[in-house]
Homo-oligomer: A and B are copies of this chain.
Amino acid sequence: MFRIGEFSRIAQVSGRLLRYYDEIGLLSPEYTDPQTGYRYYSAHQLPRLNRILVLKELGLSLEQVARLVEQDTSVDEIRGMLTLRKAQIERSVQEEMARFRDIEARLKQLDVHGQTQAPDVILKSVPAQAYLAVREVLPGIDAIQRLVENIAAVVPAAIGKHSVSNVAIVIYSPMFEPEAFDAEVGYLLAGKTPNPVRLSEERTLTVRDLPSVEAMATLVHVGSVTDRHSSYGVLGAWLEANQYHIVGPGREIMMQLPGRGQSDEAVIEIQLPVTKTPHT
């Protein structure tokens, strides 16, 4: 019989660990003196402790380890837990390697451009959204901008400030036709769905539904509304580097409209629906 100090030296573990395992019932000393509380371990408990240690090193939780070291655990259950853990490891290795590549890309960017200020791309899923908008083919980006301002001036007043959230644009035309934008412009809705809003003789905003998107590569553009292309460039580079490609119409959410003084900074979240490119 060993006292806790000697036993811990033999097994190369700390006394605190042994006390903790006793506390949670994972490994109790063979005998505990009821007077003094002193713990006495036997050499026969070493195999159990060792098994606990190796299972723990495999990354299993102590709760799982506790199940596995009970001898009444069926072989099937053991197999199940190990198989599960194996799958977890596979996933975590994949994730770690993705992080690794991401860090490498950032380091390369640091070396090449010396810049640390590129906006960050975030991959997220967005839910379906009610949308009060009008779809049109517009002759240029400034036409869109005027329409946005027009809508921003009229709509909140018409249906109540509290039931709209942000101005959003959905761009259906391929990115590279600057002369004929096929786009939807309008407000994302927050509260209950309102009636259509007449903007002018030719334009009426109606309620539509923006579908949910599982994987949306997004980035927040801050600055002038006219130089969004740089942000699109960053997004495009990210897609390429991370093996994604575009699978639908992009969106732009105007988190903050530019001030009328025209030099005020706008904040726009650019969103592109994507899927993982099957890697060769």
Within 101-118 of A, Cβ neighbours of B (below 8 Å) are at 102-104, 106-107, 110, 114, 116
- When distances are taken between beta carbons in the complex, the residues of chain B under 8 Å from A114 are 75
Cβ-based interface call for A24 (8 A): no
Question: How many copies of the polypeptide does the oligomer hold?
Answer: 2
Cβ-based interface call for A124 (8 A): yes
Nearest Cβ on chain B to A49's Cβ, whole angstroms: 9
Binds B, one of A54-62, A147-155, A199-207: A54-62
> Contact at A46–B89, with CB atoms within 8 Å?
no
Within 7-55 of A, Cβ neighbours of B (below 8 Å) are at 10, 12, 42-44, 46-47, 50-51, 53-54
Cβ-based interface call for A198 (8 A): no
> Contact at A220–B47, with CB atoms within 8 Å?
yes
11 pairs of residues in contact across A and B, judged by CB atoms under 8 Å:
A10-B269, A44-B256, A46-B267, A54-B122, A57-B99, A58-B99, A59-B99, A83-B107, A86-B107, A89-B99, A93-B97
Chain A interface (Cβ < 8 Å from any Cβ of B):
6, 10, 12, 42-44, 46-47, 50-51, 53-54, 57-59, 75, 78-79, 82-83, 85-86, 89-90, 92-93, 96-97, 99-100, 102-104, 106-107, 110, 114, 116, 119-122, 124, 165, 219-220, 222, 255-256, 265, 267, 269
